[in-house]
Amino acid sequence: MGIRHLFGRGSFSHGIHPPSHKGSTAHAPIRRLPFPPLLIIPLAQHIGAPAQAIVKKGEEVVRGQPIASATAAVSAPIHAPATGRIKGIDRITTAKGAKEPAILLEVYEASTQEVLWRTQQDPAAMSSEEMLQAIQDAGLVGLGGAAFPSHIKLRIPEDKSVDTLVINGCECEPYLSCDHRTMLEYPQELIRGIEYAMQASATRKAIIGIEDNKMDAVETLREHLRDHPDISVQAVETKYPQGSEKMLIQSLLGRKVPAGGIPADIGVVVNNVGTMAALGKLLPRGEGLIERIITVTGPGIERPGNYLVPIGAPIGFILEHVGYEGGVNEFILGGPMMGPAVSSLDTPITKGSSGLLVLNEPGIQEETRNIWPCIKCARCVSACPMHLNPAQLGQLAAAAQYEEMAEHYNLNHCFECGCCSYVCPSNIPLVQYFRIAKAINREQAA
């Protein structure tokens, strides 16, 4: 079984306990933001092949209408987040830093923005294959950050046998609380989505894992699950990165995903609570994913909270409506441990954006720029949840021994959680070194 901590709740070895910084948003109800005048909708919002635009400049579209189609099995379509007119298709700077194609949609200010494109469906009457197709048609991807197409996640390989659906409600990243609020405010949609996912993946039971700093969510869901014996809720230790699927599986079930393997190898499939709630809402209506809940917070925000925003909303527009104070800031899409920093206020919210953080603490940022030599303290070794040796990997990275890192020191087992960089007293940006090493190895392999 997984490791049990002081209160008998599931956990895993190693990891870290950063300050949560969730107090300003965890009790803030979800609110809808206005629609911006222009939506910037990247065609690559998910892992896999980018979508292909099926609209042209000058075309009028209604909210919910498909505007880009999936181009491969591992791909997802995109739907219009608002009623308006296609301004054009251009290359824009995304959170990844590269310029990528995006659909520019001018929003009609006078529109009611009712969803006008939908097809009523009866998920209970669907076969597993029909449901998987309906999930892809909805453009649903993982909303926890990875943005893996949900129909692929729930399609179990023919050579695998899966018995348990694990639902990730940990939200272990500091600052973020959108999943927490989703569990509190949309429990019925969440449970319905879990039932659909169990139907699509042919799993017999589901377990919702929630960190024990969100016991109100645990109790709320247990109350709603009294008539659902095949779905349970389990509190796990609050520790980063508890929300990593390998860590959560170990904490809940005591099973370990083999090196280089996937959860299906040990009979498990994992999905995020936000994804399941969206599935429960969209599938019966036959609607596409056009908006999502994000946490907007940080020392530079006057009105921090959880907001429902259309896909493609520029972060500059969002900041205007939450009381952004300006100053020397860093903007992060997602959580501070794994979310990318962005420099342009035109960067849009995408399907995988779980948060918008504004950190205006230049004193701390200046201090972290001073990188010192490794002092062999082994804090990174004690923190790494994958039991790697980040110090050794860092030295190999400094010597450009990238192949050696992968072949003999398990570089590819690192999922870039950032624990090593967080605990390093020398401020060595270890996780950034590992990302560079992986990218170079991929280029050489290609």
Q: Are 384 and 281 found together in one domain? A: no
Q: Is the pLDDT of residue 215 over 60?
A: yes
**167-211 per-position pLDDT tens digit:** 999 999 999 999 999 999 999 999 999 999 999 999 999 999 999
Is residue 319 in some structural domain?
no
- Please say which residue of 236, 262, 285 terminates a domain: 285
Q: Are 143 and 280 found together in one domain? A: yes
Average pLDDT over residues 399-412: 92
Average pLDDT over residues 388-402: 94
Confidence (pLDDT) at 208: 98
Q: Are 253 and 397 found together in one domain? A: no
**295-322 per-position pLDDT tens digit:** 999 987 999 999 999 999 999 999 999 9
Q: Calculate ∠ Cα 415-420-421, nearest 5°.
A: 105
Confidence (pLDDT) at 366: 43
Is residue 148 in some structural domain?
yes
- Please say which residue of 261, 285, 309 terminates a domain: 285
Is residue 61 in some structural domain?
no
Q: Are 263 and 399 found together in one domain? A: no
Q: Distance between CA 223 and CA 229 in Å, rounded?
A: 12
What's the number of domains the chain is made of?
Answer: 2
First to last CA, the chain: 40
What's the chain's average pLDDT? 93
Q: Are 273 and 391 found together in one domain? A: no
Confidence (pLDDT) at 99: 86
Confidence (pLDDT) at 365: 44
Q: Are 13 and 144 found together in one domain? A: yes
What does each C-alpha distance from 445 to 393, 397, 435, 438 come to in angstroms? 20, 18, 15, 10
7 pLDDT tier (thresholds 50, 70, 90):
low
Q: Is the pLDDT of residue 361 over 90?
A: no
Contact 18, 298 (CB under 8 A): no
Q: Which residue range is the domain that position 426 belongs to?
A: 379-445
Confidence (pLDDT) at 369: 56
Tokens 């190999």 — which residue? 396
Q: Indicate the DSSP class of residue 34.
A: P
Is residue 367 in some structural domain?
no
Q: Are 389 and 247 found together in one domain? A: no
Is residue 122 in some structural domain?
no
Q: Are 16 and 165 found together in one domain? A: yes
Q: Are 268 and 391 found together in one domain? A: no
Q: Distance between CA 82 and CA 116 in Å, rounded?
A: 10
**Token pair belonging to 11:** 């956990």
146 pLDDT tier (thresholds 50, 70, 90):
confident
* CATH code assigned at 159: 3.40.50.11540
Q: Is the pLDDT of residue 53 over 50?
A: yes
404 pLDDT tier (thresholds 50, 70, 90):
very high
Is residue 67 in some structural domain?
no
Is residue 278 in some structural domain?
yes
Q: Are 276 and 395 found together in one domain? A: no
**323-353 per-position pLDDT tens digit:** 997 776 889 999 999 998 898 899 999 999 9
445 pLDDT tier (thresholds 50, 70, 90):
confident
**242-287 per-position pLDDT tens digit:** 999 999 999 999 999 988 889 999 999 999 999 999 999 999 999 9
Is residue 271 in some structural domain?
yes
Average pLDDT over residues 148-155: 96
- List all residues 6 or more positions away from 102 whose beta carbon is below 8 Å from its beta carbon: 40, 41, 42, 43, 89, 90, 91, 92, 94, 312, 348
- Please say which residue of 285, 304, 322 terminates a domain: 285
Q: Are 14 and 149 found together in one domain? A: yes
